[in-house]
Amino acid sequence: PKARVVVVGGGYGGAIAAKYLKLADPELRVTLIERNPVYVSCPLSNEVLSGERNMESLTFDYRGLSRRGIAVMGDEIVEIDPEQRFVRGKGGAVYNYDKLILSPGVSFDFSSIDGMSAELADSTLPHAWKAGPQTLLLRRQLEAMPDGGVCAIVAPPNPFRCPPGPYERAAQIALYFSHHKPKSKVMIYDAKDAFSKQGLFQAAWKEHYGDMIEWVPAAAGGNIEAIDADSMTLVGPVEDFEADVINLIPPQRAAELAVNNGLVDDSGWCPVNQQTFESTLHSDIYVIGDAAMAGAMPKSGYAANSQGKVCAMAVAAAINGQPAPAPSYVNTCYSILAPDHGISVAGVYELKDGEIVSVPGAGGLSAADADARTRAIEVQFAIGWYRNITADMFT
Ligand code: FAD
């Protein structure tokens, strides 16, 4: 029988890797292991906070991948044995592999902010950086907040999942406030002094929401060091800030599965051969998506999709005794700032001396002086992108 490939994590990277392995070589025995029965998309989940979208439109099941002949297993993997080449599930089930692909996403470093914890995130201070119950909790808190209140977003240091995400979120929350609580404010306290698509974001905030959104960079004391959940106070290096709703997005690293099984280096992320995504720490284990260090590529769903395809082709080639193909990689991140205002950043990437680098002259940002019609069309592009990429993953 043909080789056995196990993929752990059925999100933006793993669902694609499993599907494209089967497309590359239908005889491969492909198993996809995912701990949740359904997948909830982070992309477009900020729109749930404004009320423009519901959770159903973000939720997908794995029947489409099963129909393709992929064995989809509901299990949480807790152990990887790179010598004997098996992974073990929470209940003790063992899955043998010839090649293992991991796309487990990120985990959160709560300890770097004094007073913060995973329990607080679940109960009162949702990060909502994995779409699901915390997204709805944050939405309910915004609904319960009095007009004139303050929602504070604490933005994490680089690198983190979805570089434009916190700033898109600020706009979606302001969209809700502008309709329902116009005296309220969105404060962004940032661990950084610059962010993705900054000029485009700041112009759009002003245009649609006036002074409702305020950004405090690290240089102005925005890098939050501690939190007091009882008094809803954020402790900064210069002054403290009170808020009615706090969305603290913690610093990030690779998912627990990678951290606990010797697949990360001192940075907290997984070093890989950037042509194949094979781990440089353990052979026959590949890491894609947010958990991996992929040169110039950002941690995005589209990047994970692109990496899933490159990795699937490299794994199929290796199993069939062929050299890894020359890869090409792509990413676009759309942000929806108002119902008729979208912006994007796009990149095309190539391998150079073993590193993923941007192709000079390719990609770029939405124009700073684009007209209203172009901004409105970019919202339609964002929604079209989402429909296409989720169909690519789940059908
Ligand atoms: P995920 O998609 O998170 O998938 C990981 C999967 O692995 C999960 O289903 C998890 O349950 C499973 N898993 C983890 N550990 C185990 C285990 N031990 N056993 C079994 N299963 C396990 N990206 C874009 O391209 N465009 C956007 O517009 C965009 N918007 C975003 C908005 C927000 C608010 C956020 C938070 C993110 C956004 N992103 C966007 C980023 C995108 O969500 C991530 O980059 C993408 O999900 C990464 O894919 P992944 O496969 O690495 O991880």
What does DSSP say about strands 150-155 and 245-248: parallel, antiparallel, or unpaired? parallel
Give residues (CB < 6 A) around ligand 1. 8-14, 33-36, 39, 42-43, 45-46, 76-77, 103-105, 129, 161-162, 165, 255, 257, 289-291, 299-302, 304, 333-334
Return d(Cα 286, Cα 278) in angstroms, integer.
4
In angstroms, what is the span from residue 84 Cα to ligand 1's centroid? 28
- Closest atom of ligand 1 to CA, residue 75: 20
Return d(Cα 14, Cα 22) in angstroms, integer.
13
pLDDT tens per residue, range 116-125: 999 999 999 9
pLDDT tens per residue, range 31-49: 999 999 999 999 999 999 9
In angstroms, what is the span from residue 373 Cα to ligand 1's centroid? 31
- Closest atom of ligand 1 to CA, residue 46: 34
Structure tokens at 323: 């050299």
Alpha-carbon distance values, 291 to 121, 159, 288, 329, 348 (Å)? 21, 11, 6, 17, 20
pLDDT at position 354 is: 96
pLDDT tens per residue, range 205-233: 999 999 999 999 999 999 999 999 999 99
| Nearest one of 35, 41, 36 to 56, comparing CA atoms | 41
Residue type, 8: V
pLDDT tens per residue, range 103-148: 999 999 999 999 999 999 999 999 999 999 999 999 999 999 999 9
Structure tokens at 365: 């940002």
In angstroms, what is the span from residue 129 Cα to ligand 1's centroid? 9
In angstroms, what is the span from residue 207 Cα to ligand 1's centroid? 31
> Mean pLDDT throughout 191-215?
97
Query: Best of 7, 42, 130, 252 to mutate for ligand 1, by most ligand atoms within 8 A of CB?
Result: 42
Per-residue pLDDT band for 270 (boundaries 50, 70, 90) equals very high
Angle between helices 372-394 and 14-24 (to 10 degrees): 60
pLDDT at position 15 is: 98
Nearest CA owner, ligand 1 atom 7: 9
Structure tokens at 270: 């997984």
3-state secondary structure of 58: helix
pLDDT at position 367 is: 96
In this predicted structure, the answer to whether residue 1 has a pLDDT above a threshold of 90 is no
pLDDT at position 72 is: 98
Are 156 and 250 in contact by the 8 Å Cβ rule? The answer is yes
